[in-house]
Amino acid sequence: MCGRYAIAYNSEELPSHFKGFDLEVHPKINKGDHFDRSFNVAPTTSGAVLRAKDRELRYMKWGLVPNWTKNAEDFNTYKTFNARLENLQESKMWMACCNRKRCVIPVSGYYEWKTKGKEKIPYYVVRKDGKLCFLAGLYDYLESEDLWTYTIITGKAPKELSWLHHRMPVILEPGTDAWDTWMDPDKTKWTQEELDDLLAAHYDDEVLAVYQVGTDVNKVANNNQSLVKPILKQDQGKFNVELSATEKRHMKQEAAKEEGNSQSGQTKKRKTKTEDVKEEEQSVAHRTKRTKKDVDQEEEPSEKDDEAVEEEVMKEEEGSDVGDEPYDEENDAEVDQDVMEDEVGEEVDEEYIKGDENDVEGSMDEMEDDAVMEEPMVKGAKQTGQKKGGQSIGERVRKEVGGSSAVKDEEQSDPTPKRRGKGRSTSGKGSDEGDVVNMMSSGKKASKKRKQHN
């Protein structure tokens, strides 16, 4: 089959390249029409066709539509862009065209794909001298839509080219008997045998060259000269296109323009990509800043939190509820009312501490140390609000003072040395004296806290 080909000349340049074959052509192009060169001509696009009837050179649509078609849009031209040589006299559509509507299609070269496993590798077949190559074809005209269409005839590939594909387009060389017979307008009847002999595919290694090209040709949208250039180093010398000085200049200008457009597109893409990256960075920075601020707010303790913590500490230390209500001296929950009324106890404690140091073993500092050690027990007394032993602090102190005098008399009568401890006596009554000191200390603490609340 033949599904892609290249033509290196536009509609104004093409006619001049027939002169190298001593061929007379009559270009037929409507005023204002222009057809660019194309290195990737595909079915349903337009290509130049040289008619055998009158040597008219006309651009037609690739994919033959029979003249009896009622609606060209409903006709599937993808089934008719190639015509098999073996079927030219078996199909009425091909037979009518073969009798009176024969043509050749000028190309710079054609593409063929070699199948290797699941991969299809594109190759390019071209004349070594860079001149035009002519493919045998048929054309038709749909008068109702003023539509000219054509097809390319394919045959079995010769053994020299069977490694590439089992079929190939029929190539006709100007000046040969096959060319003259095919392009004879007076020849209107054919047999299949005549056609098989006349259009048998040939491959002349001295005239044609084959080399691998890039896969960009697989996409119809790609269309530039690079598509027909070899990609293998050993094939570099095979690339050749016949160009006049003017055509070379035009070709360079178009190549430069295409390169500029490509670079401009790449620059635009890079610019767009850079802008996208900047926007993303700004977005990330904003999210990071906001997240950090939120975290700081979560981690930064408020004054209210400090007050709550202080309240909890006070509750643990005082064993009572401390709220926001103003202090009520009469209903103070921290110190029992009975304890507060016993002012004599505080006066006795103070006189007791300032009295004779020999009355109690140990210094005042030692007594205060003992009071700190016994603080939990005193707190228990605060919380319950009961008089220890059913007595007031003053009564207990007076009683204990009397007991301490008895202890002193006993020690003086006993010559045995006694071991002194921190505010404690070995006589067994030191614990009672410690209780007295502890109660005295608790009374002072209660008074101090009341003053703080006030």
Q: Name the residues annotated as catalytic.
A: 2, 112
Give Cβ neighbours of residue 57 (< 8 Å, ≥ 6 apart).
14, 15, 18, 25, 26, 27, 28, 48, 49, 50, 51
The Cα 3–Cα 112 span in angstroms is 8
Please count the other Cβ atoms lying within 10 Å of the Cβ belonging to residue 305. 10
Strand-pairing partners, residue 226, are: none
End-to-end, the C-alpha distance of the chain in Å comes to 110
The Cα 283–Cα 319 span in angstroms is 54
Q: Could you tell me the two tokens for 345?
A: 């106890």
Give Cβ neighbours of residue 332 (< 8 Å, ≥ 6 apart).
340, 450, 453
The Cα 205–Cα 93 span in angstroms is 34
Q: Could you tell me the two tokens for 375?
A: 């603080």
Smallest Cα–Cα separation from 393: which of 331, 444, 431?
Answer: 444
